[in-house]
Amino acid sequence: MSRRSGILEFAVLGLLREAPMHGYELRKRLNTSLGIFRAFSYGTLYPCLKTLVANGWLIEEPGSAPEEAMAASLAGRRAKIVYRLTAEGKEHFEELLSHTGPDAWEDEHFAARFAFFGQTEREVRMRVLEGRRSRLEERLEKMRASLARTRERLDDYTLELQRHGMESVEREVRWLNELIESERAGRDQRSGQDAPAQHDNDSGETGGLPRHGGSTRPDPSDDTAK
């Protein structure tokens, strides 16, 4: 399985964990909610769905009411198929959510992982965020070293492009620092209080997003940050 197809399968399982959907709904959610999939087509999505069905992680069900199915049949159209997550699929997705290795820190994979942080346990979120920050700090160090070596040979526009790329990475590092500090503050507050537990998501953990206004999430798939 390629890395990109693996990201798509992860996202499909995550969306179907929320509710069953047919292919059009899934593609719309992938395009609108998870912007990293804007370029994905039905020709990419449906083979992915068939693979997940073959693996026993999804099942196909008729999605139309009986009268709608009859109308579709009379019109020569296929009735819509709804894809539903199986118990095995849910278990597999939860296993994928627990992974915190280097793949989870890369641009597109991190964006997909972050989209499902509401379903992810706090400690896993922390490891993914810290891994992503470490990866970007390494990238930033290399960019600075490269710029120092080549500065004299670059024209003004190329130099400005290099600076823009560095600023994009620096901005995301600052954003990650805020998220990590918020996660830590939430964990410390939770461990230091005897108040009744708050129910926020499936993991039983409250989210760690910063609560102040004006902080926007940089796009991890921004090619200036690669």
pLDDT band at 34 (very low <50, low <70, confident <90, very high): confident
Question: Three-class SS string for the chain?
Answer: CCHHHHHHHHHHHHHHHHCCEEHHHHHHHHHHCCHHHCCCCHHHHHHHHHHHHHCCCEEEEECCCHHHHHHHHHCCCCCCEEEEECHHHHHHHHHHHCCCCHHHHCHHHHHHHHHCHHHCCHHHHHHHHHHHHHHHHHHHHHHHHHHHHHHHHCCHHHHHHHHHHHHHHHHHHHHHHHHHHHHHHHHHHHHHCCCCCCCCCCCCCCCCCCCCCCCCCCCCCCHHHC
Q: Which of 18-32, 156-170, 185-199 has the lowest mean pLDDT?
A: 185-199
6 pLDDT band, cuts 50/70/90, is confident
pLDDT band at 189 (very low <50, low <70, confident <90, very high): low
pLDDT value at position 39? 63
